[in-house]
Amino acid sequence: MFAAQRIGLLLLGMANLQGGRGAFHKDLSRAAASFSGPLAICVARGPRQDRLDQGPLHIVVPINGAEVARRAAELAIAVARDSAASIVVLYVSNARSSRLAGNRRSRKRLDRFEQAILNDVVELAERHDTKIKTTVQADIAPADAILAETEPGGHTLVILGVNRRPGDELFFGDTAAAVLDRSAVRVIFLSD
């Protein structure tokens, strides 16, 4: 379908986007399967799903050190810069496992790793004259942390960097499936 064209990003959205539990509709899966490049799937939800002119967006972007998560942060920064949106960058730490192991050196290494990831995104935002807030959640499943962050803060959009998983249906993993199933706000899944 797209083989003869050179497309940098395929943006997909449908009225009936969701199929079964945590899965995308078969038509969307088919369209995504015919394109091997970067993909963005937009899920319109929440009170502002039909109108974008009701004030600025409030974006949550989870990061974890993966390149696709950094690209999601780049997209959030570009959207915020052009629309006066606010951004919360969320890092979910598995801090409990290091503490339970009793390995202080492992915990310090993890702290430096977390801080380096957050610093990278802060520097990226500063280069683009965009302000962001950062937060770290520990000892919680990533999907639960993402969903919890959208509830109290009045956030209106989650931009989630994901990787396609092998199979006939379009699937981005358990975290993305949980966010797709349970999010009450807009979500953009950004995949390489």
In a domain, 66, yes or no: yes
Kindly report the CATH number assigned to the domain that includes residue 172. Answer: 3.40.50.620
pLDDT of residue 94: 67
pLDDT of residue 62: 96
In a domain, 30, yes or no: no
pLDDT of residue 133: 94
Q: Which domain holds residue 106?
A: 40-46+55-191
In a domain, 3, yes or no: no
What's the per-residue H, E or C state across 39-103? EEEEECCCCCCCCCCCCCCEEEEEECCCHHHHHHHHHHHHHHHHHCCEEEEEEEECHHHHHHHCC
In a domain, 126, yes or no: yes
In a domain, 32, yes or no: no
In a domain, 114, yes or no: yes
**Per-residue pLDDT tens over the stretch 168-190:** 788 899 999 999 988 888 899 99
This prediction's pTM: 0.84
Which secondary structure element, helix H or strand E, spans residue 176, and what is its range?
A: helix 174-182
Residue 56 in tokens: 């600025």
Q: 75 with 41: CB under 8 angstroms?
A: no
In a domain, 129, yes or no: yes
**Low pLDDT (below 50) residues in the chain:** 1-4, 49, 97-102, 106
Amino acid occupying residue 55: G
In a domain, 142, yes or no: yes
pLDDT of residue 72: 95
pLDDT of residue 162: 96
Residue 4 in tokens: 């003869």
Q: What domain count does the chain have?
A: 1
